[in-house]
Amino acid sequence: MEESALQLALAGVAAALASVAVVAVLVQKRALRRLRDDQRVLIGDHDRRDLVAHAAQLQRAVDQLEARVATLAEQLDQQIARVSHELARCVDRHALVRYDAYNEMSGRQSASLALL
């Protein structure tokens, strides 16, 4: 009788451990499903890449974009320098003449500016 009670107790413990294992597997399956859904949002559903490959591709794209921005900034600096130089040469002579437009007692409040 003791042997059957021991077997029954062991069977109960084994059933309890099995049910705990099943619950743990279900929890992990749910967590994995959430992770895959989040990964699908990041990567998209069209490719079968992993997150590391996606991050590497993004890094390459950022590096290319950074190089392009640096090139454009250099070109813009050169263009600004060229335009500043040309603008400095544009106005060679200037003159300001003040006069009284209405011949009144108000003084010379009108002005004409000549830029050459």
* pLDDT tens, residue by residue, 27-86: 999 999 998 888 787 777 766 677 788 888 889 999 999 999 999 999 999 999 999 988
Task: Tell me, yes or no, whether 36 lies in a domain.
Answer: yes
Going from the C-alpha of 46 to that of each of 41, 49, 73, the distances in angstroms are 11, 9, 35
Residue 1 has pLDDT above 70, yes or no: no
User: Cα angle vertex 96, ends 93, 97, to 5°?
Assistant: 135
| Terminal CA-CA length for the chain | 120
Task: Tell me, yes or no, whether 21 lies in a domain.
Answer: yes
Give the residues across from 111 on adjacent strands: 98
Task: Tell me, yes or no, whether 25 lies in a domain.
Answer: yes
Q: How far apart are CA 53 and CA 41, in angstroms?
A: 15
Radius of gyration of the chain (CA): 41
Task: Tell me, yes or no, whether 32 lies in a domain.
Answer: yes
Can you give the pLDDT at residue 50?
Answer: 76
